[in-house]
Amino acid sequence: MRAAITAAAALLLSGCTTTVDKPAYLIGTWGGPSAGIAFHVTADVLFDCASGSIDVPVYPAKDGSFLVKGTYREGSPGPVRVGQIFRSQTAIYSGTALEGVMTLNVELEDGTALGPYNLMLGAPAQLNRCV
């Protein structure tokens, strides 16, 4: 009797799975020459002499393409001084992210285009800080 109950329980539980679905939004650290992005839910973006942020999750389309608004802040050489203000402007971050490879483009509100940057999932940003 005990064997029959064990077998029946095993049969019923065999249909149960515990799969952890990957989130539909971008996640992880992506890096490459002159740029890097750390996606949590939102994202921190680093450039050679600037930084930025994306304050919403980035959901790529099935083809890997994405387009999202964020901010871009210019940096400056040397140490950051107390009270120093960096110019910030709206930016459009766009590109593709497929199979661990990202191409990132940035268009600033003043019309300046940056990129393309080629980033790899799990790679560190290779930044040359402004001098």
- Tens-place pLDDT, residues 80-128: 778 878 889 999 999 999 999 999 999 999 999 999 999 999 999 999 9
Report the predicted TM-score, pTM, of the whole model to 2 decimal places.
0.78
Cβ-proximal residues to 32 (8 Å cutoff; 6+ apart), any chain: 117, 118, 119, 120, 123, 125, 126
Max Cα distance, the chain (Å)? 79
DSSP-assigned states of every residue in 33-49: BTEEEEESSSEEEEETT
Q: What are phi and psi of 22, to 5 degrees?
A: -70, 145
